[in-house]
Amino acid sequence: MMYVWQGPWHCIQTVISISSGGPVRGPLMPGWAMDATPASNRGSERTRDMVQRWRRTVLARSTWIHLAARAIHRRWHPMSFNPIQAWLDMKAQMPELAIEGIGIKYVYPVFLALIILEYINAKHLFDLKESWSGFVIGIGATIIRVITNVFEITLYMFLFTWAEPFREQYLGYSTLGFAWYIWILCAIADDHNFYWHHRLAHNVRVLWAAHLPHHSGKMYNLTISIRNGWFITLVKPIYWLWMPLVGFEPIMIATCLIVNAFYQFTLHSQLVPSYGWLENIFNSSHVHVVHHSCNTEYLDRNHGGIFTFWDRLYNTWQKPIKGIVPKFGISHDPGTNNPITHNIFEFQEIWRDVKQAPGLKNKLMYIFGPPGWRHDGTGKTSQQLQEELRASGQFGKPTVVESEPTAVRA
């Protein structure tokens, strides 16, 4: 049965029908359950069945659409909305991702073993108090990620399904499918999304406040890979919303996100050697150490996840400079290893600056402007610092090795 778009009012009626416990009427479910892609492009029979089963449950009870409809009707049913039970139902309806099972059984144990091995072989790269703080930050980020991941993937599925009739009408296909070259294209698109997510997290102050815990450690070792801010995951999905709209399968998007995260774990160690000429394509710890360095020459550089060519394309590439000793950390350090402080103190600073700033424009700049910007000119952004260093002729000049890592990031 072909999908027939009957306008937004039909969708509203359908949502209301679902929220009230009624059946889904009209052509919505047959259209969303169909598989218009040839079997050769859909992968295994098991994968196709899983995708179809997931599509059929997108508008079932306890999906986020149902939650939205129930929220609208709460004045009529104020006590019938249970977000915890709804989340559990949504989680139960999601298909299993093979990559998650592989991660739990094999990848995560290997990562833990590598952290222990790195500590045994390079204790001087660790500060135990900072590392334990990083573990707590990582646990908090993981808990938040587990909670939000259900809503994120369900949102991808909704957008994928909602845009399906438009793709069929204007692009001539319902899905890009699971062919091997689509997987490669999805991985490249995923890393391009990550590049801009990561770059803006360094150039927009409120996003920097959320990303800051990943950079606030003064040591550089594998524990940094799990030291992710608690709030950055709330905005990260925005950069991926276009992918389900154009036809990338949500299962594929989620898998590429996880693979990208796995790859980036290996970037946070000073013991991994350079990849040589491969670094023209692939990111490495040798390249990523530049990103985590707070030397003026290195500020806000090398934002790519898996690939380095995004930085070359968008003029944010910086190769390691011989003689420049990497320094890690941030300026205006909170002076504590308290995980909560590291996640909220920059937001507190933003709030303080907003309250004191004259005029709406300055207030907005303290929120959405680059870190280091000050309305009275007393602060400098990373770009301004680099321009001054170039003008002085000191850009790239060798530095003196210091006994302790310092933090100079503006």
Q: pLDDT by residue (tens digit) across 260-311?
A: 999 999 999 999 999 999 999 999 999 999 999 999 999 999 999 999 999 9
What's the half-sphere exposure (Cβ side, CA atoms, 13 Å) at 375?
17
Picking from 50, 75, 93, the residue at the C-terminal end of a domain is: 93
**What does the pLDDT read at residue 404?**
42
pLDDT given at position 50: 56
Is 144's pLDDT higher than 50? yes
How many structural domains does the chain have? 2
Whether 53 and 151 map to the same domain: the answer is: no
Residue 109 domain-assigned (yes or no): no
Residues 278 and 397 in one domain: yes
pLDDT at 27 over 50: no
Q: What is the DSSP code string of 254-294?
A: HHHHHHHHHHHHTTS-SSSPP-GGGGGTB--HHHHHHHHB-
If asked whether residues 361 and 306 sit together in one domain, one would say: yes
d(CA 294, CA 408): 6
43-72 tens-digit pLDDT: 455 555 655 555 555 444 445 555 555 554
Average pLDDT, the chain: 81
Local confidence band at 104 (pLDDT 50, 70, 90 cut-offs): confident
Amino acid identity, residue 288? H
Same domain, 81 and 170: no
Q: Distance of CA 176 to CAs 98, 167, 193, 237, Å?
A: 20, 10, 18, 20
Q: What is the pLDDT of residues 303-334, one digit of tens each?
A: 999 999 999 999 999 999 998 989 999 988 88
Asked if residue 115 is part of any domain, the answer here is no
Q: Give the span between the Cα atoms of 273 and 271, in whole angstroms.
A: 6
pLDDT of res. 47: 54
Domain extent at residue 319: 128-410
Domain shared by 73 and 151, yes or no: no
What is 3-55 written as a DSSP string?
A: -----HHHHHHHHHHHHTTPPP-SSHHHHHH---S-GGGS--HHHHHHHHHHH
Rounded mean pLDDT, 70-83? 53
Which long-range contacts link 25-28 to residues 24+ away (Cβ below 8 Å)?
Answer: 27/1, 27/3, 28/59
As a whole number of angstroms, the distance between CA 115 and CA 118 comes to 5
Could you give the CA distance from residue 240 to residue 243 in angstroms, rounded to a whole number? 6
**pLDDT above 50 (res 408):** no
- 29 lies in some domain: yes
Residue 16 lies in a domain: yes
- At 99, is the pLDDT very low, low, confident or very high (cuts 50, 70, 90)? low
Highest averaged pLDDT of the listed ranges 23-32, 103-112, 171-180, 393-402:
171-180
Asked if 281 and 397 sit in the same domain, the reply is yes
Residues 221 and 369 in one domain: yes
Q: Per-residue confidence at 196, pLDDT binned at 50, 70, 90?
A: very high
pLDDT 10s digits, 209-261: 999 999 999 999 999 999 999 999 999 999 999 999 999 999 999 999 999 99
The answer to which of 51-55, 88-92, 97-101, 128-132 has the lowest mean pLDDT is: 51-55
Give the mean model confidence (pLDDT) for residues 340-368: 96
Same domain, 156 and 86: no
105 in any annotated domain: no
Higher pLDDT, 410 or 146: 146
With CA atoms as reference, report the closest residue to 159 among 20, 261, 21, 253: 253
2 within some domain: no
Residue 13 has a pLDDT of 45
Residues 82 and 173 in one domain: no
pLDDT at residue 400, as a whole number: 54
Which of 47, 71, 93 is where one domain is finished?
93
Domain boundary among 93, 116, 144: 93
42: nearest Cα among 152, 208, 179, 240:
179
Do 34 and 133 fall within a single domain? no
In a domain, 101, yes or no: no
Q: Do 134 and 85 fall within a single domain? A: no
- Confidence grade of residue 396 (pLDDT, cut at 50, 70, 90): confident
